[in-house]
Structure 1
Amino acid sequence: MSMDADFDAEAWATELEEYRAEKDEFFAEHRQSPIPADDREDFEGLTYYDPDPSLRVAARVEPADGEDTIELEMTQGEPQPYERAAKLVFELDGGEHELYGYEQVQPEEGHDHAADDTTTLFVPFRDGTTGDTTYGAGRYMEFEVEGDLADADELPLDFNLAYHPFCVYNEAFACPLAPPENTLDVRIEAGERLARSLGSD
């Protein structure tokens, strides 16, 4: 796997820890926190795997194959349409893997694609930790790609930024489920994890 030559692991780890601290503050105090208001006083922070720079990999950006759109099942309510925006191909644990990056299908009315100068790729996925030390419906990543996605060759895919959907903390939220096509056959021990494994007493 290749990594950008100017990658500074120490600065990256510091930035990651700062991001996690800010997120804990949001969950504990913000009115839009998914933590129910009555539970915020006892909230002690999210649980994470230790930062692991080896799980920040270079992903090759390829055109998505198959149908243009996919219906993602939700934790509640009707499935929602997402566009397969790109296929991300990367090496991990000696093998080649792929994940799709999606964009939520927007109503044509009032949405000006020409005004967009970045693409936000939504990457829901399952892996070997799913249903064990991480949420059974999968975790998410999001990445912003500047400029035209068709011109992008490679981007850093950082599993340390993997996070749980809000519905883990509050059943009032409706969250997309990671689709079968975004299932990895390896354990991704990075990013958010459950406070205890589902198999523990």
Structure 2
Amino acid sequence: MKKILSFLLLFNVLLLTAQETSKEFQDTLNKEYGTREDSPLTDEDFKVFKSLDFFPINDKFIVEAKFTRTPKEKVFKMKTSTTRLPEYVKYGELTFTIDGKPFKLNLYQNIDLTKKEGYEDYLFLPFSDLTCGKESYIGGRYIDMRIPKEETVTIDFNKAYNPYCAYNHKYSCPIVPLENDLNIEILAGVKKFHD
């Protein structure tokens, strides 16, 4: 229960202001990780924690994406870093370009989370890219979003963060689905925590 509450608290903070700049987001994340009650860090890491390591903020990785709703998708159990299998449904697709190359990511909705007050419109955007296992966490990264009100949405990869299990094995984290693996280096967002 404590793990779930910690996740919800982090989620609240991450989605506090949709218009939050990349820098504000990163400052907020650092503040949360530096607060004992909210931090996913192990006791050992927390004692020496000063800041997360981020790629330099890069406007190239703030992209406009076309949102396409995908109704009638079947609920499925998403694999995690443990035996837990939370239920998700594919909610839609985001298509965009970087350096003139087309990309697509699926947006997912957590079934249980939609039943919690304040989280009904939460969407989950997990992705992996060519930096995974090198500069960034091998298991991929996440971006939190709300249900789009328009056909065009902004994806700010500078706001990409690591799953909690990148810091502490006691957490159970969704594994990025293979269809959300990008064939490009996303040099933005949080880097890996340990070398």
Q: Which amino acid aligns with 2:84?
A: E
Match of 1:137 in 2: 139
Structure 1 residue 116: Cα displacement: 6.9
Q: Which amino acid aligns with 1:139?
A: R
Q: Aligned partners of 2:136 and 2:49: how far apart in 1?
A: 19
Residue 93 (str. 1) matches residue 99 (str. 2): yes
Q: Is this contact kept in 2: 1:64–1:100, CA < 8 A?
A: no
Q: Aligned partners of 2:77 and 2:84: how far apart in 1?
A: 9
Aligned length: 176
Given the alignment, which residue of 72, 76, 83 partners 2:78?
72
Deviations 1:79-108 (A, max 9, x none): 222110110011112111100010101289
CA spacing shift, 1:107–1:157, aligned 2, 3 Å = closer
Match of 2:110 in 1: 104
Match of 2:190 in 1: 192
Match of 1:40 in 2: 46
Given the alignment, which residue of 154, 157, 167 partners 2:155?
157
Q: Aligned partners of 2:163 and 2:173: how far apart in 1?
A: 6
Greater strand proportion: 1
Q: Aligned partners of 1:139 and 1:49: how far apart in 2?
A: 13
Deviations 1:164-192 (A, max 9, x none): 00111111000001010111111100000
**3-state DSSP class of the match of 2:124?**
strand
**3-state DSSP class of the match of 1:184?**
coil
Structure 1 residue 40: Cα displacement: 1.6
Alignment of 1:2-13 (within 5 A): none
Q: Which amino acid aligns with 1:91?
A: T
Q: Which amino acid aligns with 2:109?
A: E
Q: Is this contact kept in 2: 1:28–1:41, CA < 8 A?
A: no
TM-score w.r.t. structure 2 length?
0.80
CA spacing shift, 1:117–1:65, aligned 2, 3 Å = closer
Q: Is this contact kept in 2: 1:124–1:139, CA < 8 A?
A: yes
Given the alignment, which residue of 16, 19, 26 partners 2:25?
19
Q: Aligned partners of 2:142 and 2:87: how far apart in 1?
A: 17
- What residue ranges of structure 1 are gaps of 5+ in the alignment? 1-13
CA spacing shift, 1:195–1:62, aligned 2, 3 Å = same
Q: CA RMSD in A?
A: 2.5
**3-state DSSP class of the match of 1:192?**
coil
**3-state DSSP class of the match of 2:121?**
strand
Deviations 1:113-149 (A, max 9, x none): xx8796222000111111111111110001123xxx5
Identity, in percent, stands at 26
Q: Aligned partners of 1:139 and 1:161: how far apart in 2?
A: 10
Match of 2:64 in 1: 58
Structure whose alpha-carbon radius of gyration is higher: 1
Structure 1 residue 44: Cα displacement: 1.6
CA spacing shift, 1:117–1:170, aligned 2, 3 Å = closer
